[in-house]
Amino acid sequence: MQEIKCKHCKGTNTYKKGFRQTEHRGKIQKHYCKDCRRMFTQDLGFYRMRHSETIITMSVDMYISNLSSRKMKNQLSRHFNLKVTHMTILDWVRRFTLKVSKFVEKLGYNMGDSFYADETLIDCEGRNDRFWCCLDWDTRMITGTHYSLSANPAQAIKFLNKAISKGKPKFIQTDGGVFYPKAFKKMFYSNKIGGLTIEHKIQNYQKTRIHNYKIETVFMKIKDRVDDFRGLKALWSAPIMMMAITIQHNFIEAHTTIEDVPCERAGANLPLGENRWLDLIKLSAQNN
């Protein structure tokens, strides 16, 4: 059983004392701290949120899956008689994506040794920004992402550092982008970094007429969702939205080929029920 800590003094000498009645979230358990003699409610990830955890997580899940914020707002109005603005739904997505991201970045994973990396164009404010993504083929888990305004060796280095932060691949396969060999040469000039040997494989479509298809299948899914957004609307929030899609891929949805959620295939066996966003948010609050 998890120990209840006082939010004021961090003491554990607490006990339950009554409930706080809310309009949309029902009764919330109150606690009393014997050390500082103050009342508090436990933060389970939704502290001071007006709407219920189920409504919030359903909105986040459906928005990232395929529903626009305005359509989600209409669904809440028609089926639950809730008046929520589309900007509130976007705020929920950004808020809880950042919360969950901090938690999942600290977890350990058992990755394979075959990584596939690439970058693709993402429409943001009418620009073609770059979204970089690396996939572990064994688990189908996205190991690292990067968002930038351009593609060059410096951005490739930042991306590759993120790509190998969770695993130890034997090789990373990329397309024929001219910035990749330069980035590999600078990072792995002796093919070693901290005892890690990484081979750079290049799938050059111009020569082989074969795409780097193992990562392209992920990009098709990602770009379909960005098209549903009708492009990303602001540079400050664009990386957060791409982070949300990554979390959805890694922790929420079962991959159609392996019939498993990538994080579970990678050994991160979290106690997640059917509402995986809800449990991820609660775990993030507990491990903050």
State pLDDT tens for residues 10-60: 888 888 888 887 777 778 888 899 989 898 887 788 887 889 899 999 999
What tokens appear for 247 in the block? 């979390």
pTM of the model as a whole = 0.86
State pLDDT tens for residues 185-216: 888 765 555 555 788 999 877 677 666 678 88
Q: What is the DSSP string of 169-187?
A: -SEEEE-S-THHHHHHHHH
Instruction: Output 223 or 137, whichever has higher pLDDT.
Output: 137
SS in 3 state form for 213-226? Answer: HHHHHHHHHHHHHH
Q: Among 87, 49, 83, 51, which Cα is nearest to 68's?
A: 87
State pLDDT tens for residues 205-264: 767 766 667 888 888 888 888 887 777 889 999 999 999 999 999 999 998 888 899 999
Report the chain's mean pLDDT, rounded to a whole number: 88
CB 134 within 8 A of CB 183: no
- Cα–Cα separations (whole angstroms), residue 231 to 92, 129, 130, 224: 19, 11, 13, 10
What tokens appear for 127 in the block? 């620009």
Instruction: Give residue 2's pLDDT.
Output: 64
The Cα–Cα gap between 8 and 185 comes to 52
- Extended beta strands in the chain, E state: 14-22, 26-33, 38-41, 114-124, 127-136, 141-148, 171-174, 192-193, 196-197, 199-202
Residue 132 buriedness (CB in 10 A; 0-12 / 13-18 / 19+): buried
State whether residue 254 is helix, strand or coil.
Answer: coil
Residue 169 above 60 pLDDT? yes
What tokens appear for 158 in the block? 């930042």
14-22, strands of its sheet edge to edge: 14-22, 26-33, 38-41
Phi, psi dihedrals of residue 125, rounded to the nearest 5°: 55, 35
pLDDT band at 95 (very low <50, low <70, confident <90, very high): very high
Count CB atoms within 10 A of the CB of residue 151: 18
State whether residue 145 is helix, strand or coil.
Answer: strand
CB 34 within 8 A of CB 13: yes
State whether residue 68 is helix, strand or coil.
Answer: coil
The Cα–Cα gap between 192 and 114 comes to 17
